[in-house]
Amino acid sequence: MNIRLSLAVMVAKFAAFVSRKFGWKGSSLPGVVARKLYKNTLKDLAGQARQGVIMVTGTNGKTTTNNMIANIIQTGGYRVVINQEGANLITGVTAAFVKYANYLGKLDCDFALLEVDEASFPKVVQEVKPQFVVVNNFFRDQLDRYGELDTTVKLVREALKTLPQVHLILNTDDPLVAQMQSATGHDTSYFGLSSNLRIENETKQTRESRFCPHCGNQLHYDSYQYSQLGSYSCFECGFKRQEPEVEALAIDNQGTSLKCHVRYPQGQTTLTINTQGFYNLYNALAAFCVGYLIGIDIQQIQQGLLKYKPAIGRMETFEYHGKRAILNLVKNPTGFNEGISTLLSIPGSKSVFIAINDNDADGRDISWLWDVDFEHLANGQDSITNFTCSGLRGEEMALRLKYAGVPMEKITVVRDMARAIQKTLEDSGESAYLFSTYTALWSAQKILLGLAGKEEDHVKGLSSVS
C-alpha cells in the first residue's frame, strides 16, 4: 500500500465532503488537495485502469462526447472512471480519480474516460498515457486565455508527439484536427459526415481555417458542414479530407431526437440520440468509433447512445406548464452559431433568454460576440416573440442584437437572472430557448430546476434500429 497516496485520497475525499456540505460546487477541489499532498496522485491512480485511458479533447463537445462514450462502454459491461461534470483541467481530472478510489487509493475500473481541456492536455499526458485520444474540433475560444487558435492546435499537436504509442480518433472534416495524423505518425481512425449532408445551413459563419496546415496555401472546399468543417483539399501539397472509417450518411431530425444512418467497416446501421443540435452528430460518431475500436457490440453501442442524457447546459431540456425549455451552453462564435441554427429549426414560436458573463472562466474579452451571426437570428425573428438579456454583460448583448437588426421593442434587459428566466418562461412563445455562458450556467440551471421540471426521459417509445 502507498501510504502517501492513501493519505492524499482520504484528505481529498474529506475536502469534497466539506465542499458539498457547504453547498460549494468545488468539483476540482479534491484534485487540488490531493496534488498538494502527493504529486503523483494522478499518475498512480490512472495506472490502475485495467484496459487503459481514453481522452477527449478539442474545443466544442468534449463533455457530450465523453459521456456518450461512457454510456457505450458501461452498456458493454465495463466499469469506468469519468470526469462527468466537465472539470477538465488537471486538478479536475485528478478529482475524478479521487472520487472513484477507495480510502486506500485503490480503483476498480476497466477504462478511465477523461475529457481534457486543450491547454491542460500537455500537462495531463505527462502523467497519464492514454491508449486512445479523440479530437473533435478546433475553434477560437477565449482568446484572452488560450491565445490564437494556432497556439491551441500546436499545444495539442506537440503533446501528441510526446506519446510513444496512442491511437488517434480524429474528425476528418476539420483540417485542423485531421492534420494530427501526418504531424504525429500515430495510428488513426477518422469519423465524419458525408459531403453536402447539411443543405439548409444559411448562416454566414466565420471560417476558422482557410489555409493548409502543412504548406500554408489556401484550401479548396467542395462543401461545408459548418465553420471550417467540410470536404477540403490542398491543390499544392495534396493534403485533403480522408475517407472516414465511421461516417453519417443521412439524418432524420425527429424533434426531440436525431436519427442518423451510419456506415462503418463491417456494414451500416442506424443510431438515435436523444438530443438536438447538428453538431451532436459529430459527438455521437466519435463515441461510436471508440466503441467499435475497443470491440463493443454494435447493438450495445446503439443502446448506449440511445440512453444518453444531456449534461448540464448541453441541450438540457425542461418542462414548464407544458412548455419545453432548452438550456444551451455557449462559449465561442461557432458554438453560438450552431445553437442559433438549432433554435431556428424548432417549430413554433419561441422566447429567447441570453445570459452573458465575463468572469475569468468565461473569458474577460466578450468581443467574440461580434463574430456570432446574430444577423441570421434576426432574419428568423418572426418566430421569436422576445429576447431577454441578462448576466454581467446583458446590456452589451442587447446592443449586439440591436445592431444585428432585432427591433428594440423585442429586446429586454433584466439583470436579475431569476426574474429574467421567469419572464422568459412566462412569455408567449410556445417554447423557450436559453443561452448561457459558463459561469452563468449553474445559476441558470438551478433557477430552472426551481421553476420547471426536467423533461420526461424520451427513451420510452423510441426503438433502436439495426
Segment 93-102, tens digit of pLDDT: 999 999 999 9
Average pLDDT of 189-202?
75
pLDDT band at 453 (very low <50, low <70, confident <90, very high): confident
Q: Which of 37-51, 199-213, 306-320, 415-429 bottoms out in mean pLDDT, i.e. has the lowest?
A: 199-213
Do residues 157 and 180 make contact, with C-beta atoms less than 8 angstroms apart? Answer: yes
**What cell does 386 get?**
422576445
Residue 250 has pLDDT above 90, yes or no: no
**Residue 350's beta-bridge partner residues?**
384, 431
> 317 or 277: which carries more pLDDT confidence?
317
Residue 458 has pLDDT above 70, yes or no: no
Residues 233, 214: Cα–Cα separation, whole Å: 12
Do residues 296 and 68 make contact, with C-beta atoms less than 8 angstroms apart? Answer: no
**What cell does 150 get?**
494556432
Residues 110, 78: Cα–Cα separation, whole Å: 6
pLDDT band at 460 (very low <50, low <70, confident <90, very high): very low
Average pLDDT of 57-74?
95
pLDDT band at 207 (very low <50, low <70, confident <90, very high): low
Helix axes 29-37, 3-21, angle to 10 degrees: 150
Residue 272 has pLDDT above 50, yes or no: yes
119-159 pLDDT tens trace: 999 999 999 999 999 999 998 765 444 557 889 999 999 99
Residues 28, 136: Cα–Cα separation, whole Å: 24
Helix axes 417-426, 438-451, angle to 10 degrees: 60
Instruction: Give the pLDDT of residue 142.
Output: 55
Instruction: Give the pLDDT of residue 352.
Output: 97
Task: Give the three-state DSSP class for 330.
Answer: coil
Average pLDDT of 188-203?
75
Q: Is the dihedral of CA 120, 143, 156, 171 positive or negative?
A: positive
Residue 398 has pLDDT above 50, yes or no: yes
330-363 pLDDT tens trace: 988 988 998 999 899 899 999 999 999 999 888 8
The neighbour count for residue 247, using CB atoms within 10 Å, is 22
Average pLDDT of 49-61?
96
Average pLDDT of 305-319?
88
Q: Which of 140, 141, 142, 147 is nearest to 365 (CA)?
A: 142
Residue 57 has pLDDT above 70, yes or no: yes
Q: Which of 245-254, 257-266, 454-463 bottoms out in mean pLDDT, i.e. has the lowest?
A: 454-463
Q: Which of 113, 101, 123, 237 is nearest to 169 (CA)?
A: 113
Instruction: Give the pLDDT of residue 230.
Output: 93
In the block, cell 453538431 appears at 279
Task: Give the three-state DSSP class for 85.
Answer: coil
Residue 265 has pLDDT above 50, yes or no: yes
Average pLDDT of 289-311?
94
Active site residue 365: yes
Active-site residue, from 297, 365, 416, 457: 365
Q: Which domains does the chain have, with CATH numbers?
A: 50-88+103-306 (3.40.1190.10), 314-454 (3.90.190.20)
Instruction: Give the pLDDT of residue 198.
Output: 63
Return all residues near 156 (Cβ < 8 A) that are at least 6 apart: 57, 118, 121, 122, 135, 138, 180
Do residues 368 and 378 make contact, with C-beta atoms less than 8 angstroms apart? Answer: no
Average pLDDT of 172-189?
96
Residue 90 has pLDDT above 90, yes or no: yes
Residue 418 has pLDDT above 70, yes or no: yes
Average pLDDT, the chain: 90
Q: Which of 337, 328, 317, 355 is nearest to 431 (CA)?
A: 317
